[in-house]
Amino acid sequence: MKRTFWPLSLVAGAVIFGLFVSPVFAQQFTAAKVLEGLIPDEANPIVAILRRGGVLMYPILGCSILLVAVALERLIALRRARVIPQPFVDRFLADLREGLLDRDAALLRCRSDGSPVARVLEHAVRRWGRPAVEIQQSVAEGGQREVLELRRNLRVINGISTVAPLLGLLGTVIGMIRCFAEVAAQTDAMGKPEALAQGIYVALYTTAFGLSVAIPALIVYYYFLGRVDRLVAEIDALAQEVIELVAGDGAVAPVRGIVPADGDHRPQVRTAKTVHSARQSA
């Protein structure tokens, strides 16, 4: 599904950019009266802006389409119903508390669900009956992999927010160098400041376009980063509750009526003193 989703995301990103984003750019960049005569009257003003802005406008355009595609992919992937399905969590915890699940049944239920929270809880169930410290270590190792999976592609968004304004600045610098070179080649350029102003104005297209892509990318990045942090915190709380239910040295819920005979679930700490006394008694 992931292999087929990416092309669909890119196509959707291109369509959304063409229908909604590019008209906004075109309206902002062509609304001023100073642009009269600088941009030809075309059916699609964004094409004229890209052509006048230079070759670096196209990588920035690609960054904007990629931003929309990644944002759509993360918006679907980070839905709470997909990461932490509430029906599975409620039923799983209720059955554990009532002692209706043993290790094999709990593992089967986690594997059949396949959600990120189920994969994290599966690491706790695999260590059923072990000390809580050992279970926590296993959950931490599995949880780190799930966190990396939840944060997947967020670096792409962060990279776009960094690269897009740099591309825009580079395009502006190249445009201004070209502009000054053309003005310097003219003998009567000093008497025509409008030629220099026109060249600088057109050169600033790439900076404006790059910032218009970078600012939304940065906002989207922090939004998804906050969502991931909230989901991870909730998964951690659920994992701690499951650890208390399945740990061998914690308050373990009775599983199918099996309760330790001594009724004491506290961990027995072996110190040097206890080991020495055990040897003497033996």
End-to-end CA distance of the chain, in Å? Answer: 63
Task: Give the range among 46-50, 54-58, 132-136, 248-252 with minimum mean pLDDT.
Answer: 248-252
111 part of a folded domain: yes
Confidence check: pLDDT of 205 > 90: no
143 part of a folded domain: yes
Q: What's the rounded Cα separation, in Å, for the pair 166 and 154?
A: 19
Once rounded to an integer, what is the mean pLDDT over residues 73-82?
90
Instruction: Please report the pLDDT score of residue 4 as a whole number.
Output: 43
Helix axis angle for 57-77 and 205-246, nearest 10°, is 20
Confidence check: pLDDT of 278 > 50: no
267 part of a folded domain: no
Confidence of residue 8 (pLDDT cuts 50, 70, 90): low
Instruction: Please report the pLDDT score of residue 267 as a whole number.
Output: 37
Q: What is the largest CA-CA distance in the chain?
A: 109
58 part of a folded domain: yes
Task: Give the range among 187-201, 209-223, 255-269 with minimum mean pLDDT.
Answer: 255-269
Tally the domains of the chain: 1
pTM of the model: 0.70
278 part of a folded domain: no
272 part of a folded domain: no
10 part of a folded domain: yes
Confidence check: pLDDT of 36 > 80: no
| Percentage of the chain exceeding pLDDT 70 | 65
The amino acid occupying position 235 is: I
Q: What's the rounded Cα separation, in Å, for the pair 90 and 92?
A: 6
Confidence check: pLDDT of 279 > 70: no
Task: Give the range among 61-75, 133-147, 249-263 with minimum mean pLDDT.
Answer: 249-263
Confidence check: pLDDT of 5 > 70: no
197 part of a folded domain: yes
Domain that holds residue 32: 1-256
